Amino acid sequence: MQYRRLGNSGIKVAPLGLGTDNILNPTPEDESKRMILRALDAGINLLDTANSYKQGESERVIGDTLAETGRRDEAVIATKVHYPMGPGVNDRGNSRRHIMRACEDSLRRLRTDRIDLYQLHRPDFDTPVDETLGALTDLVRQGKVVAIGSSTSPAWRVVECMLRAELKGFVPLATDQPPYNLLDRRIENELVPAALTYGVGLLPWSPLAMGVLGGRYADDDIRVEGSRAAVRGGIYAERVSQRAVETGNLFVRMAREMGEDAARLAITWVKDQPAVVAPLIGPKSVEQLEHFLPVLEMSLSAEVAAACDAINPPGSAAANFHNSAPWMKMQL
């Protein structure tokens, strides 16, 4: 397995990251801990969480697991700040006040003295970008944060952050975490070129398109019992549209005709795209994690890449995985 640089930082990570939104939601704590340890055993060192995942409980489980086993230094912990963590008007967003307090809270839950990658969960257009970058830079200089990143940001905001960092001496973004899969390729139009220009590494979320690219949904049954779309509803259900399922199943049939596992191939497709450091997989069990591990050694052939382009062309979208980003005006 070839480890990759985490964007423009010197940190090295495996070409897959473990997403932890499923910890306690619905994965039980004991199984969650086993997943974390199995990921580390397999060489997956990037553990991605957020303070808003189960209101801090995901961070707590990660922190307890690493502290109890003495494996903190094996892990690259990535967490996020932005979403509400209390009822107050200042208990959210990307202001200095919220970032500084949220960081301390995350450090306590994670039982660590540093966060390896501290990410802005969403852009905050009400807070001056210099205030946000200034707060993150101070945390880096204090040794509480090693590198910084953003998530689900428009390309222009990523470029703005990089230019402001160069102009004002702030710490630059090392990464951005966009939604990216074969069904929603819109980041290829602007974000990917910007990331390549500025050395920003991409950590795509939902590479399996919520299971659509793994063959979970039938063309005539897009509300599978137990699926995230069915259980959580809302924006999750919106992503699993009829068009998304039908397009996804074209990919599934293509993968099976090639003798490939569709889920593994879909993640490999994301992993081998330009500017991508590591797609974030979100297994609900150790068994699911085991199923994804072969992707660490897989590679995308030119033949498969061309076949995928024929299913959903570069820069286009058959599903809306940007529907949690108010700045995205294009709706499907």
Element (H, E) at 247: helix 242-257
At 187 the three-state DSSP class reads helix
Pick from 124, 130, 146: nearest CA to 76: 146
Catalytic residue among 53, 180, 198, 217: 53
3 vs 190: CA distance, rounded Å: 26
Q: What are phi and psi of 222, to 5 degrees?
A: -100, 10
- Is 180 a catalytic site residue? no
The number of residues making up the chain comes to 332
At 117 the three-state DSSP class reads strand
Q: Indicate left, alpha or beta for 70 from its phi (over 0: left) and psi (-120 to 50: alpha).
A: left
Bridge-based pairing state of the strands 115-120 and 76-81: parallel
Q: Catalytic residues, which ones?
A: 53
